[in-house]
Amino acid sequence: MGSILNYILPTPSRDTQQGPVSNYIISHFKYTLNSEILEGYRNVLVIETTGGYDSLENIFTDEFVSHVLENDLTICACVVADPGSEPSFKKINTFTKLNKIYDRISYIDSNVLFEVYENVSTFHYFLEEAYDSKQNFYGTDNDLGYVSVRPTENQLDSYRNKKFLSFSRNNDKRHRLSLLHDYLTNDFSDSYFSFLQNIDSQNNCKIYHGDDTMLTSDKYNEKIPIELDTKGIINGFRTDNTLPTHLFLDSIIHIVSETSFECNELFISEKVLKPILNYQPFVVIGPHNYLKELKKQGYKTFNEFWDESYDEIKDPAKRYMRVRELILDLNKKSIEELNLLYKNLKHICIYNNKQFHSMESNNSLRKILTKL
């Protein structure tokens, strides 16, 4: 086996895709397509899944395992755009041990909790991507038909008419459905919320604060879509440059509904960057220790001004109820009280914004791929 790397990128299928890792390889490394093996090279088969580690169960057939062993291949399984779940990872790890390919496989994951496993490399994919593409957030045409304009510090003292701002496109996860339920059953008329996609009729509509109060999918869907800047465009738009400045400058606190919640994958997506880029404080409906990890990345949070103990709660139902209590308590305050609160904490928002713009990518993906 040679010492020079060649990455093999398979044809996208139901279970595989050309995702961020494949795109990076195409730009920076030697690669071949469609299972082409190069003699004299160390050939690494890159698998970017469409369904996390569960997709690997469909890919790792007996024929696949034989192909890997007979051709002396190494496997690089990538779960980056969405984080991997630990139960699925443990299951596939057991499979690779039983089929004698455990020593031939390594993983790249954006769930940084997986750094404890010897064969997994982790990094904050969305943060590093954002640091590499700061120029793309503002001043470019977006899919919703407007150009986002970067706010300035001298605009921050203007009076704000709304308490909260929160964006939700998909409502297919329990924490987001719970937030939708709370929005519909409490008075948030002086806030900006969006909920775009219908609830699947097969969804059991479970929420975190009691099945006795839950609505049926039809009752939810008759209220959806609730839109802010989308104008009927519910799917298929990029979110990194959809930053409606007037909404950020007219609202006080951002509610971030993160990708992960129930399984506690420690994964920071681009969603928290919206309030950071636009000088807003934030409450995060996210996994256990999310705020702690954000602080490790150099950002500040707002425990001086409200209770952030929800971040320390591992149980998802209890964590949601604690963050719900915080949101409802803040909602009881008058708009004048919250405007005054913003003036007292805006220095943290300014700090976070400057921190983001001072950050540079660690080039983690290059380092990981080169290490292979």
Q: Decide if 232 is inside a domain.
A: yes
DSSP designation for 282: E
Same domain, 116 and 12: yes
Same domain, 118 and 156: no
Residue 202: per-residue pLDDT: 58
Residue 217: per-residue pLDDT: 85
Would the CA dihedral through 46, 47, 52, 54 be positive or negative?
A: negative
Q: Decide if 370 is inside a domain.
A: no
Q: Decide if 185 is inside a domain.
A: yes
Q: What angle do CA 47, 7, 2 make, to 5 degrees?
A: 130
Residue 204: per-residue pLDDT: 63
**pLDDT tens-digit map of 121-142:** 999 999 999 999 998 999 999 9
Instruction: For the chain, give the percent of residues with pLDDT over 90.
Output: 82
Q: Decide if 364 is inside a domain.
A: no
Last residue of a domain, one of 88, 122, 156: 122
Q: Decide if 372 is inside a domain.
A: no
Q: Decide if 128 is inside a domain.
A: no
pLDDT band at 286 (very low <50, low <70, confident <90, very high): very high
Same domain, 96 and 173: no
Same domain, 196 and 143: yes
Question: Is 2 a residue whose pLDDT tops 60?
Answer: no
**pLDDT tens-digit map of 173-193:** 899 999 999 999 999 999 999
CA distances from 124 to 11, 71, 74, 165 (A): 26, 33, 24, 25
Same domain, 53 and 9: yes
Q: Decide if 179 is inside a domain.
A: yes
Decide: 163 and 331 in contact? Cβ < 8 Å.
yes
Helix axes 20-28, 364-371, angle to 10 degrees: 70
Same domain, 183 and 252: yes
- The arithmetic mean of pLDDT across residues 98-125, rounded, is 94
Burial class (CB in 10 A: 0-12, 13-18, 19+), 9: buried
Q: Give the C-alpha separation, 175 to 181, whole Å.
A: 10
What CATH number is given to the structural domain containing 276?
Answer: 3.40.50
Question: Is 3 a residue whose pLDDT tops 70?
Answer: no
Same domain, 68 and 184: no
Same domain, 208 and 331: yes
The total number of structural domains that make up the chain: 2
Question: Is 243 a residue whose pLDDT tops 80?
Answer: yes
Same domain, 118 and 138: no
CA distances from 225 to 146, 167, 237, 248, 322 (A): 20, 12, 15, 20, 27
Q: What is the pTM of this model?
A: 0.93
Residue 216: per-residue pLDDT: 83
Please give the residue range of the domain that contains residue 31.
Answer: 4-122
Question: Is 15 a residue whose pLDDT tops 90?
Answer: no
Same domain, 157 and 93: no
Same domain, 139 and 118: no
**pLDDT tens-digit map of 312-359:** 999 999 999 999 999 999 999 999 999 999 999 999 999 999 999 999
Q: Decide if 367 is inside a domain.
A: no
Same domain, 220 and 291: yes
Last residue of a domain, one of 58, 89, 122: 122
Give the three-class secondary structure for 41: strand
Hey, what amino acid is at 70?
E
Average pLDDT, the chain: 93
Last residue of a domain, one of 54, 88, 122: 122
